[in-house]
A = this chain, B = another copy of it.
Amino acid sequence: MMYITRRERFNAAHRLFRPEYSDTKNMEVFGKCSNPNWHGHNYELFVTVKGTVDPETGFLINLKALSKLIREKIIQKIDHKNINLEVDFMQGQMASTENLSVAIWNELEKPVRHLGAKLHCVKICESENNFVEYFG
């Protein structure tokens, strides 16, 4: 079993808040991330897939195809966007990094299988000090 990881990057605005909370409670739970005027991040996305190596090509997966897939399914929809307002696969959810990793997993799992590999991990770095990992 071999694992290969592709990194892609995107920039986006977001906000963490619950409309039914008071401003005070939103600030208490979500802190500065609840700012009604939004804030944003440079996100790093690491997609790890696993599988066996094709003895003819020496490849687990064609990395160019994996990169193209991530760009089409994720980056084009989220880069330079507002995660709360504009990203279809995040609608109806809190725009946390945890939820984002699950949503990206759900978008990528099937198409990665069509490339002949198995999605293993979605990792998102929101800053140099914080990252989440989701293994399905």
Contact = CB atoms under 8 A, between A and B. Distances in A.
A84 B16 CA distance: 20
Contacts of A59: 96, 98
> In which size bucket is the chain A interface?
35 or more
Copies in the complex: 6
Interface of A: 1-9, 11-14, 16, 18, 29-33, 35, 37-42, 48, 53, 56-60, 62-64, 67, 79-82, 85-86, 93-99, 101-102, 127-135
5 contacts: A11-B40, A13-B38, A33-B80, A58-B98, A59-B98
Given A37-B86, A39-B81, 15 more contacts: A5-B130, A6-B129, A7-B130, A13-B13, A13-B38, A13-B40, A29-B57, A32-B80, A37-B81, A38-B82, A41-B42, A42-B42, A56-B94, A57-B96, A58-B95
